[in-house]
Amino acid sequence: MSAAGLQVLIVDDNDMASELLSEFVGLLGHDAKTSATGTEALTACANHRPDVIITDIMLPDYDGYELAARLRQQLGDDIPIIALSGLPKNNQRPEAVAFNHWLEKPVDLSTLEDLLAQVDRKPA
């Protein structure tokens, strides 16, 4: 983590949703990057390891479950992955364990702020 806060990767193919969430994360003092697809997210993570990943479930190339599983393979288990979706969590899917948290849209911003604060306070 940097002195400026967390490096947050937001994965969502809805440009407006990504932009608004990115602005909110920035207002909290964190640095947000966005990716519109799972492929872009995997590439972004290969080039720069984020502190937190927030991903939608419905993406054009992977669903969020598959993306989270691939991110776990690529990055390990120490990076929090937060699902942010209009869909309810499907605990029947084994890939659901790849998520640390599940937030439903529209996101409660205070809940997201609290989650990011918890990650920011963890020792590096």
Question: What is the Cα–Cα distance from 39 to 44, expressed in whole angstroms?
Answer: 9
Q: Which domain holds residue 93?
A: 7-121
Expressed in percent and rounded to 5, the helix, strand and coil fractions of the chain are 45, 20, 35
pLDDT of residue 121: 72
pLDDT, mean of each 10-residue run, the chain (124 residues)? 78 96 97 98 97 96 94 95 88 82 93 93 65
Q: How many domains does the chain have?
A: 1
pLDDT of residue 124: 55
For residue 47, being part of any structural domain is answered with: yes
For residue 1, being part of any structural domain is answered with: no
* 84-100 b/e (C-beta count within 10 Å ≥ 16 → b): bbeeeeeeeeebbebbb
Give the domain CATH number at 24: 3.40.50.2300
pLDDT of residue 93: 80
* pTM of the full structure: 0.92
